[in-house]
Structure 1
């Protein structure tokens, strides 16, 4: 069965043996039994597949999102709206009666209202846990209204609880996009265009990569982020596809390859000179512009040689808490800059990214746990790094442990200049050492000493089937 076939998609655990709870070393995790699953007997609240799905559709141009849910699930969109997402969304506002008797009528009314007000080219209908329980027939409502309205209506079947890996929400969106929006013929002639698959990258990262592609004179079709309906529909005609983050974008890339004969390039996240050069060379080979790419790589490596020779991060112990592919790519960059990575926390490990762990230091501590701050606090209290690198809005708390927090939310780490920008950010933060010391001396961590002294994997158990 092809990637875009089937109305619903299995959870990432069943498809890819995704592991979302683990503590050990890089070597042990890389050689772990593929089918083994761990569970947490206690877990802090974190993102789920519904939130990731809402993020994925939020930056698609000329689209509206209808969240089929009570108000609470719909309010999750406020986070992305605050971060700059401009797409509007509606909530069907299901109540207790609807959870028992069904909310098909409310869904129909909400879609009609959204269309009447905006007349978008795409309406995404995002399901939620309540809908998974009351078994509303979303497909029937969508089919009925698509005939009536002059727009594409795309159902996304996010249950919210069948997968513990939030990244499964990206897969569900890409499956729906491939099934309902991409059009074309596998045998038709391909255009000289690159599908650049992006889901979570910040604007600055995308700009850095586009500057390189523009220098190679490669025409780019960015999807699904910032893509229009026409961009997505015509992605079947591209010469090749590549994802900025293979973990997130592989599903669309593989689907386009299987269904429309658009080759998909698998590579590392383009962070640091080595990974960026590899990424660029793979693209340049397809478009027969290797000479141009080599000149760019030589120029950029020459410019960065002095920075690397200085080893600007020498003597610093660094802990990384990022998405899996970003974290593994950043490890090599920090090593090249003279720093020492003493541990990483990543969101999930599966068949898509497990091979990247083999490139890490044999005994590097690896913690798998998206949003499990209580476990990270336990680890940091034991390892005592100088620097903690994490995503936006989840780093400041580490200052209570006397650790310098580095948020990379809006920093362009992609491309050849990522190393310099990281060094500048770290140096700027180190100058505020007195502030960090003051916070540590006058603030109480949200966790008790009794927990910090326990084994970090206290609540991580092997699942018994």
Structure 2
């Protein structure tokens, strides 16, 4: 049975056996010796976590002509304030328009918890439809309606014929899953069940004259990275339909008319790509993330093989790699032997570590936010390109483990997300943002631009060194002497 027949997608703990707690080394993971935790008891101590609302809102707020309605407590969705800078920048980069995302909340209170919030939700949907006149209303179920049993899907179904907007229920009850990558499935689930089901809109579209591919982007790339991948795909004679972020609702229907769907991150995309194949017969490429030299080339080869363009793609790859190798010479000697620690989502962390090894760095630690089957090939690649074994941590944040590891491996450079570099910075380590939609990261040009940024950072690391003189982390010296993975449970239950 298709998951899309259900009201909400399954948890990734169940669908993919994903986990968020493990500690060991790269060779442990490669040889499958590292045993992951049981899903609901992964650590004897947990410092913090991320709710799946964060990445889900990043996707939904980017959709033009849409309104996001948070059904829950008033604090749920507040991350949209900070994330709005990405929405404004994305609109500006694509259409030259500075436009904010639009989100509201039903602000459920104590009375609503007791009596139910369905009436308030229905009234909010009607008001949004009348006042904003959007094409899409994302109705996002937070923890409160999930606990009290509000039927968000039932409300949407009951009043859909009475409003002009398409109502898309999105289930983001944070207490249901600890794998916040489930957020991608939740948004894709809503789009697939509502927007792509409109057969009248699908039939009205004409089949593109050129071979067309769906290029997936769930906000892990900015417009500069989209341009780089479009450049490479169009060199193969392909038309490109980018989906879902900043994809206009009326353009979503084109998804069902493509010849091939291409993932840019298997962690993000498998849920919808399998649905597009099952329902609409669209095959997909779900391998490699086009970060780094080797991965970008393999990614292109997989796409070209589907269209029988092997000779053409080899010529493109040879030219791109030769030009890039010449451009990187000035940096590689400088990077050689410098130690780097990488922390990010599973595929981005591993693909970036491979790129850094290609640039001459010594990878001394990697931390991924979760683990599932899609990264198996990346562990193999990373093991082949790195000469030494090193610690590998699976952790949904947990800065106390990160601080311990940093003190042990003593990196020259730390790459993490914008809100995840502070621990390394306070220890005096040079840091660089691993994900910023305004900076190029993807493809051949992305590899060069990242090398330039790291060169500038490492030649002038004084800022973080000065921070470390005046700021201390809250961990005792006793913690730094312990095993950084001391609080992780294994599947048998022992620590």
Structure-2-length-normalised TM-score = 0.88
Give 1:22-61 correspondences, 5 Å limit: 22-30=22-30, 31-32=32-33, 37=38, 39-61=42-64
For residues 423 and 33 of structure 1, the distance between their equivalents in structure 2, rounded to whole angstroms, comes to 32
Aligned to 2:277: 257
Name the counterpart of 2:123.
109
User: How far apart, CA to CA, are the structure 2 residues paired with 1:14 and 1:436?
Assistant: 41
Of 221, 239, 250, the match for 2:241: 221
Alignment of 1:98-137 (within 5 A): 98-137=112-151
Please say if 1:145 is aligned against 2:159: yes
Instruction: Measure, in 1, the Cα distance between the counterparts of 2:280 and 2:33.
Output: 35
1:323-368: CA deviation from partner (whole Å, max 9, x where unpaired): 1111211222222221110110001111232342233328331101
The residue that corresponds to 1:421 in the other structure is 449
Gaps of 5+ in 2: 89-99
Over residues 362-419 of structure 1, what are the superposed CA-to-partner deviations in whole Å (9 max), with x where a residue is unaligned?
8331101122111101110111111001112321441221211111333312111222
Structure 1 residue 167, shift from structure 2 partner:
0.4
Q: Is the 8 A contact 2:196 2:256 kept in 1?
A: yes
Q: Is the deviation greater in 408-417 or in 380-389?
A: 408-417
Partner of 1:157: 171
* Rounded Cα–Cα distance in structure 1 between residues aligned with 2:103 and 2:466: 42
1:200 to 214, 219, 239: 219
Task: Tell me whether 1:372 sits opposite 2:372 in the alignment.
Answer: no
On the 8 A contact 2:37/2:489 being kept in 1, the answer is no
Aligned match of 1:409? 435
In structure 2, C-alpha distance between the alignment counterparts of 1:363 and 1:120, rounded to whole Å: 53
For residue 458 of structure 2, the aligned residue among 430, 438, 444 is: 430
Question: Partners of 2:465 and 2:73 in 1: how far apart?
Answer: 44
Cα 1:236/1:33, change in 2 over 3 Å: farther
Tell me if structure 1 keeps the 8 A contact 2:343–2:366: yes
Work out whether residues 364 and 411 of structure 2, in 8 Å CA contact, stay in contact via their aligned partners in 1. Answer: yes
CA distance in structure 2 between the partners assigned to 1:46 and 1:207 by the alignment: 33
Measured after TM superposition, the shift of residue 423 of structure 1 is: 1.8
Pick from 439, 445, 449 the counterpart of residue 473 of structure 2: 445
Q: Is the 8 A contact 1:45 1:371 kept in 2?
A: yes
Structure 1: stretches of 5+ with no match in the other structure: none
1:209-263 C-alpha deviation (Å, 9 max, x unpaired): 1222233332111111111222222311111101111110111111101111100
1:180-329 matches, within 5 Å, as 180-183=194-197, 184=199, 191=208, 192-203=211-222, 204-307=224-327, 311-312=332-333, 313-329=335-351
**How far does the alpha carbon of each residue in 1:14-52 deviate from its partner, in whole angstroms, 9 at most, with x for none?**
111001011101232341588852602222233211222
Q: For 1:371-390, what aligned pairs fall within 5 Å after superposition? A: 371-390=397-416
CA contact (8 A) 2:25 2:390 kept: yes
CA-CA distance at 1:166 after TM superposition: 0.6
User: How has the CA–CA distance of structure 1 residues 11 and 212 changed in structure 2, closer, same or farther, with 3 Å as cutoff?
Assistant: same
- SS in structure 1 opposite 2:443? coil
| TM-score, scaled relative to structure 1 | 0.94
Aligned partners of 2:410, 2:291: CA distance in 1, in Å?
Answer: 26
Q: What is the distance in 2 between the residues matched to 1:333 and 1:386?
A: 16
CA distance in 2, matches of 1:345, 1:97: 43
**What is the CA–CA distance in structure 2 between the aligned matches of 1:34 and 1:399, rounded to whole Å?**
31
Measured in 1, the distance between the counterparts of 2:83 and 2:470 equals: 32
Q: How many residues align?
A: 465
Deviates more, 1:31-40 or 1:100-109: 31-40
Name the CA distance, whole Å, in 2 between partners of 1:389 and 1:194: 32
Q: Contact 2:20 / 2:37 at 8 angstroms: preserved in 1?
A: no
Indicate the RMSD between aligned Cα atoms, in angstroms: 2.3
- Secondary structure at 2:486's aligned position in 1? helix
Kept after mapping to 1: 8 A contact 2:416/2:434: yes
